[in-house]
Chain A
Amino acid sequence: MTESAPQTLQRRAIALVSGGLDSMLAVKVMQEQGIHVEGVNFFTGFCVEGHTHAIRKKDQDKNKRNNALWVAEQLGIKLHIVDISEEYKDVVLNPKHGYGANLNPCLDCKIFMVNKATLMLNKARELAGEKGFDFIITGEVVGQRPKSQRKETMPIISRESGADDRLLRPLSAKNLPETLPEREGWVDRSRLHDFSGRNRKPQMALAKRFGLDDFAQPAGGCCFLTDESYSRKLADLWQARNERRYELDDIMLLKVGRHIRPAPHYKLIISREEGENRFLEGYRYQFTSITTSSCPGPLALIDGTLASDDELRQAAAIVARYSKGRTDDEVVVEVRDPSGVARQLPVRPATPDQVAPEWMV
């Protein structure tokens, strides 16, 4: 009879899972080496997720799946989704390392997320000892993103997050110094990768090898802050308020409707279709709203305060311009305040030249 081999401890990793291909591959590479992986996904409020599709009726045939959940299911791993939207404000408002091309604080964001994962790892080790976690993995690739994924920024993320050498990037590990899991022999460095740069071919080849053919590859990553038009709307919000701050509702509303600012002290958020209508409906108890009552038309919220009745008529005329009665001589609108008190107001719809292009946020 042979003696059974001593049982080796299965090492455990926390993976940052965005829902994109790279983090998915990083997890696969670890699973291939026998590592137990669980995922964590952070909700910042700026995530480009299924909810814009959920709002817009025309997008409703599109896949409404949450990509992080879908990826976790494909990988057979648990996924913990964490709402960091409140703490995340400080990252957006005061990024120590500055912004990228738009209002995207990518480097500070990555440091923040790896730090959160490190705190989770420490807490789990405290609670569960060896059943806790040993290290953290991400899908980062050296040279892939101009702001955060550069050779110089990789050690900054490890150091400033507090993860230090417990942070492993399986897709780029061979381009980086050895980490704890490699040194300890928990993972075999020779079976890790040396991807670098913006070329996606190595990822595609690896995906193919793993038999993965359905994955999300959003162009600007999975964050609205990398989007130019979204960043412009956020900057406009700060300028109009004379201070850099936001609430979750503000940044949700920036994802919806047409934003028109006829004067510095107010803007209109006008729905573009039925789904957005229904979404904005939920905000009528917080904002004064305008709808058209003599013909079908959009729902508009007034963000700010109108200074006079003339301004109210101007706002109403702009809303009427986006209704079915845009070519009529007169459209009747209903103006409702947040407490539900409503009044009817007949207006002549604005003509295209009465809505200045610079008002479009």
Chain B
Amino acid sequence: MSHHELDARRLLCPMPVIKTQNQVNTLRQGDTLTVICTDPGALNDIPAWCRINGHAVLETREEGHEVRVTLEVGEPSIAL
């Protein structure tokens, strides 16, 4: 199990979600990923994407104009 970081700053939704999804598809169950964004929409969208696809949100945090979401990768699904 390993920890990863994804810089999604300056990207507008849904790009931070797409980048998160694409990175999660390369990770293993139990790995953790922190996504750093500037679009405040990510604060809703990334946790929603996690709930839908079976990943756990460990922490969401706002720091100034930045949003950080940390998730734990759940069971893999068929990557379409």
Q: Which A residues are within 8 Å of any B CB, using their own CB?
A: 14, 38, 40-41, 43, 47, 49-51, 53-55, 60, 64-66, 68-70, 72-73, 77-83, 120, 123-124, 127-128, 131-132, 252, 278, 282
Contact = CB atoms under 8 A, between A and B. Distances in A.
B65 A50 contact: no
A43 B65 CA distance: 25
Given A49-B13, A51-B13, A81-B21, A69 B52 contact: yes
Given A14-B80, A83-B15, A60 B21 contact: no
B14 A81 contact: yes
Nearest to A47: B14
Nearest to B11: A51
Contacts of B35: none
Nearest to A120: B80
Contacts of B2: none
A360 to B, nearest CB: 25
B49 A69 contact: yes
Nearest to A275: B40
B45 interface: yes
A50 B41 contact: yes
Interface string B61-80: 00001000000000001101
Contacts of A64: 13, 40-41, 43-44
9 contacts: A64-B44, A66-B14, A66-B17, A68-B14, A69-B17, A69-B49, A69-B52, A80-B80, A128-B78
B79 to A, nearest CB: 8
B21 A80 contact: yes
A242 to B, nearest CB: 29
B28 interface: no
Given A54-B40, A78-B53, A82-B18, A127 B78 contact: yes
Interface string B28-52: 0000000000011101110011011
A149 B31 CA distance: 44
A78 B39 contact: no
Contacts of B77: 78
B65 to A, nearest CB: 7
Nearest to B45: A66
Contacts of A50: 13, 41, 45
Nearest to B51: A73
Given A64-B41, A73-B51, A81 B80 contact: no
Given A66-B48, A69-B48, A78-B52, A60 B17 contact: no
B12 interface: yes
Given A72-B52, A73-B52, A80-B21, A65 B78 contact: no
Contacts of B41: 50-51, 53-54, 64-66
Contacts of B4: none
B65 A79 contact: no
Nearest to A131: B78
A166 B12 CA distance: 34
B14 A49 contact: yes
